[in-house]
């Protein structure tokens, strides 16, 4: 598909490479009207199959003194996946940052498996609460080997041997990485690099994966590969996944649950495949 450079062409929404008829500002403005009020907590609980494995309640959080998320709540059951979509600047990444401990939390609570983790530092989240945040884009060290990059994911482990064992399990699982373990990571393709970024988080054996825009910058065949890997981690390894995805079609198709975030609050929540069929979502985020 050819992406004509029109003034109203938006990169990132929909399946990519489509011309849409609204500007980013117009999307944000229209999105604010798709639901008059936030979905009730009962609805969020039902979507999570009444398993409050990961629970965010009434969270107000932001950067410095600026509040970005306003009374945000979320529920995701163990082994489920949830995708956040919404206009640029809505606060999607800030939700992930807050779960991992990168924001200022003014009020509200985050708990995992019944444990209050609201105030834990990122290193504690990774080591003690089983939460991993998958950094992307340039987080791979190009001069270091694939294996060295992978082992860095285990830097918090007290025993280096454990990290080594975890790395071996990953190499067994993903031969694409094993084949290149001694080569510098700089030679990896975009898709393989994303696989390395995801795998590095797996060295700590997390229960929850926070993934920000797994498809960004990837060509379609690599996007499918990355979603295939995430599906494997959810379905076969029982990981709970919370992702942000500009490619709303892919993200909602993948995830059990979808939330539409607008101006720091949830305006719609439903099963991922039901949101895909929602005409407002289609118009605003799927390019038609
Ligand atoms: N580290 C930061 N310090 C200060 N403000 C920030 C920081 N990160 C994000 N913001 C602000 O918080 C708001 C929400 O940003 P966020 O990155 O969460 O949006 P987003 O929904 O992920 O958008 P995008 O789709 O563009 O990635 C924006 O106004 C942004 O400028
Ligand atoms: Mg973001």
| Tens digit of each residue's pLDDT (9 = 90 or more) over 120-164 | 998 888 888 899 999 766 688 999 999 999 998 887 777 778 888
| Closest atom of ligand 1 to CA, residue 102 | 1
DSSP state of 63: E
Contacts of 141 (CB under 8 A, 6+ apart): 148, 149, 152, 185
Assess whether the C-beta atom of 89 lies below 6 angstroms from ligand 1: yes
Ligand 1 centroid from CA 94, angstroms = 6
Q: In this prediction, what percent of the chain has a pLDDT beyond 90?
A: 64
Which domain CATH number covers 162?
A: 3.40.50.300
Pair of tokens at residue 148: 């060295």
pLDDT (tens digit, 9 = 90+) per residue, 25-64? Answer: 777 777 777 666 789 999 999 999 999 899 999 999 999 9
Residue 275 lies in a domain: yes
Assess whether the C-beta atom of 263 lies below 6 angstroms from ligand 1: no
Residue nearest to ligand 1 atom 9, measured at CA: 94
Assess whether the C-beta atom of 98 lies below 6 angstroms from ligand 1: no
Residue 18 lies in a domain: no
At 157 the pLDDT is: 72
Residue 11 lies in a domain: no
Domain extent, residue 253, equals 24-285
Q: HSE, CB side, 13 Å, CA atoms: give it for residue 106.
A: 14
Residue nearest to ligand 1 atom 26, measured at CA: 88
Residue 238 lies in a domain: yes
Residue 40 lies in a domain: yes
Q: Cα–Cα distance between 276 and 265 in angstroms, integer?
A: 19
Residue 4 lies in a domain: no
Residue 258 host element (H or E): strand 257-262
| Closest atom of ligand 1 to CA, residue 12 | 25
| Among the bound ligands, the one closest to the CA of 246 | 1
Residue nearest to ligand 1 atom 2, measured at CA: 63
Ligand 1 centroid from CA 103, angstroms = 11
Q: What is the CA radius of gyration of the chain?
A: 19
Ligand 2 centroid from CA 254, angstroms = 18
Assess whether the C-beta atom of 91 lies below 6 angstroms from ligand 1: yes
Per the document, the length of the chain is: 288
Pair of tokens at residue 93: 């990444």
81 vs 220, which has greater pLDDT?
Answer: 81
Assess whether the C-beta atom of 11 lies below 6 angstroms from ligand 1: no
The secondary structure of the chain in percent helix, strand, coil, rounded to multiples of 5, reads: 40, 25, 40
Ligand 1 centroid from CA 218, angstroms = 22
At 160 the pLDDT is: 77
At 219 the pLDDT is: 87
| Among the bound ligands, the one closest to the CA of 89 | 1
Ligand 2 centroid from CA 63, angstroms = 14
Pair of tokens at residue 85: 């979509």
Q: Cα–Cα distance between 203 and 23 in angstroms, integer?
A: 41
Ligand 1 centroid from CA 73, angstroms = 18
Reported as a pLDDT band with limits 50, 70 and 90, residue 221 is confident
Residue 16 lies in a domain: no
Whole-angstrom CA distances from 36 to 17, 32, 69, 230, 281 are 31, 8, 17, 33, 15
Reported as a pLDDT band with limits 50, 70 and 90, residue 204 is confident
Ligand 1 centroid from CA 105, angstroms = 15
pTM score above 0.75: yes
276 vs 156, which has greater pLDDT?
Answer: 276
Assess whether the C-beta atom of 68 lies below 6 angstroms from ligand 1: yes
Number of domains the chain is built from? 1
Residue 17 lies in a domain: no
At 147 the pLDDT is: 94
22 vs 203, which has greater pLDDT?
Answer: 203
């Amino acid at each position: 598909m050819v992406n004509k450079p029109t003034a109203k062409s938006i990169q990132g929404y929909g399946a990519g490479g489509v011309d849409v008829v609204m500007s980013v500002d117009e999307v944000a403005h229209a999105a604010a009207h798709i639901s008059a009020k936030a979905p009730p907590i009962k609805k969020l609980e039902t979507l999570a199959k009444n398993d409050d494995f990961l629970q965010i309640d009434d969270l107000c959080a932001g950067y410095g003194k600026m509040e970005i998320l306003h009374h945000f709540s979320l529920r995701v059951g163990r082994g489920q996946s949830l995708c956040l979509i919404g206009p640029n600047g809505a606060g999607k990444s800030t939700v992930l940052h807050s779960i991992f401990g990168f924001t200022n939390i003014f009020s509200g609570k985050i708990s995992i498996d019944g444990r209050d983790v609201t105030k834990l530092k990122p290193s504690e989240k990774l080591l003690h609460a089983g939460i991993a945040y998958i950094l992307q884009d340039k987080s791979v060290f190009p001069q270091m080997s694939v294996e060295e990059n992978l082992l860095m994911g285990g830097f918090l482990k007290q025993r280096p041997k454990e990290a080594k064992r975890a790395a071996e399990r990953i190499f067994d699982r993903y031969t694409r990485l094993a084949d290149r373990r001694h080569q510098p990571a700089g030679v990896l393709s975009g898709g393989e690099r994303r696989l390395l970024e995801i795998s590095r988080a797996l060295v700590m054996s997390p229960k929850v994966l926070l993934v920000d825009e797994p498809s960004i910058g990837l060509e379609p065949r690599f996007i499918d590969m990355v979603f295939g890997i995430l599906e494997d981690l959810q379905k076969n390894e029982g990981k709970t996944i919370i992702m942000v995805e500009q490619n709303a079609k892919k993200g909602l198709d993948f995830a059990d649950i979808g939330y539409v975030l607008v101006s720091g609050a949830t305006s719609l929540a439903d099963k991922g495949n039901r949101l895909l069929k929602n005409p407002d979502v289609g118009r605003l985020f799927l390019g038609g």
